[in-house]
Amino acid sequence: MEERIKIIQESVDSFSVTTKDELENFRLKFLSKKGEIPALFDELKNAAPEEKKKLGKVLNDLKQLAENKFKSLQESIDSVSSISTNQIDLSLPVIPNKTGNLHPLNLTRYRIIEIFERLGFNVSDGPEVEDDWHNFTALNFAENHPAREMQDTFFVEKNPDVLLRTHTSNVQVRLMKNKKPPIRSIMPGRVYRNEAISARAHCFFHQVEGLYVDKNVGFSDLKQTLYHFAKEMFGNETKIRLRPSFFPFTEPSAEIDISCLICHGKGCNVCKYSGWVEIAGSGMVHPHVLKNGGIDPEEYTGFAFGMGIERITMLRYSINDLRLFSENDLRFLKQFKSVV
């Protein structure tokens, strides 16, 4: 009998389990009523009295050992199963982090700022409710210029002198008044025009104005700056084209086109089969405007440009309807990532 006790002792010691079923097998094999240890206790009844005493002690030790082993096996199984059922399953996919997205217009605005900041431009701000002087007169608009008419401009109440700015060019003169050259600044912001809302027009939209005033600023600086911008914004292959144009506040004036990103010049409906898409108005700051800003046009020259943030965003992400930007439809907004 002693031999058998030893064998059972060893097998209790070396028993290991990983599931609840295996633990139950341990209990059945050694501890249950029909298990091996109670069977030995049954046999003990028939042993000689002096044997009984000695073997009884050994058997009790074995029973204690088996019970302790059962407890520790149970604990280890419980701790493993509580991890796998209640806590971490490393094989599960991560729960998406539901932070908001940046609006595509902001993504483009930040990118524009980033590009110009690297060229040494800073960012300036100006009022959206503006007076006639800064929005029109100081920028050399003639008294009867059509842009001043009711159909274009939102006036605030009935005061013809207070209006919602129709472009970000209003910040130009404020900047010149407040700063001495060199001035190298971009001015992003919202502008307003009394237009019927459609896929191509809206009553409010966003522009970025640029102004560079210093000694010896030439047209070639304007051209090179905007060429650099176009390549940074739309890719190294992008070409630019300047078309003569007219703005009251610049002379000479030019419209800036970039080679069409969609068809690369072959012709498509985005570029209306011309191979070119307009992205900005620009020119050399008119001497009258410099004067109105308190800067001597004999000493200083400058260039200016203005571009629509919506337009650039539409080209950048192939968006074909301006209204999407202001409808706040999450299905649209969620498509843009949060990094610039």
What is the contact surface with ligand DAH in residues (CB under 6 A)?
A: 167, 169, 209, 247, 250, 281-283, 304-306
Q: Closest CB to ligand DAH among 30 and 300?
A: 300
Q: Closest CB to ligand DAH among 15 and 219?
A: 219
Nearest to 5 by CA among 320, 304, 266, 13: 13
CA dihedral 272→275→280→282, nearest 10 degrees, is -120
Q: How far is the CB of 305 from ligand DAH (least distance, A)?
A: 5
Q: How far is the CB of 209 from ligand DAH (least distance, A)?
A: 5
Q: Closest CB to ligand DAH among 108 and 169?
A: 169
Q: How far is the CB of 96 from ligand DAH (least distance, A)?
A: 41
Q: Closest CB to ligand DAH among 27 and 241?
A: 241
Q: Closest CB to ligand DAH among 250 and 313?
A: 250
Q: Closest CB to ligand DAH among 12 and 139?
A: 139
Torsion-angle region of 334 (φ positive above 0: left; ψ -120 to 50: alpha; else: beta): alpha
Is the distance from CB of 321 to CB of 270 less than 8 angstroms? no
Q: How far is the CB of 88 from ligand DAH (least distance, A)?
A: 57
Q: How far is the CB of 273 from ligand DAH (least distance, A)?
A: 24
Nearest to 176 by CA among 283, 285, 299, 295: 295
Strand-strand pairing, 122-123 and 183-192: parallel
Beta strands in the chain (DSSP E): 122-123, 129-131, 162-164, 183-192, 204-214, 240-247, 250-259, 276-285, 301-308
Is the distance from CB of 142 to CB of 248 less than 8 angstroms? yes
Task: Indicate the burial class of 8 (C-beta count within 10 angstroms; 0-12, 13-18, 19 or more).
Answer: buried
Q: How far is the CB of 214 from ligand DAH (least distance, A)?
A: 16
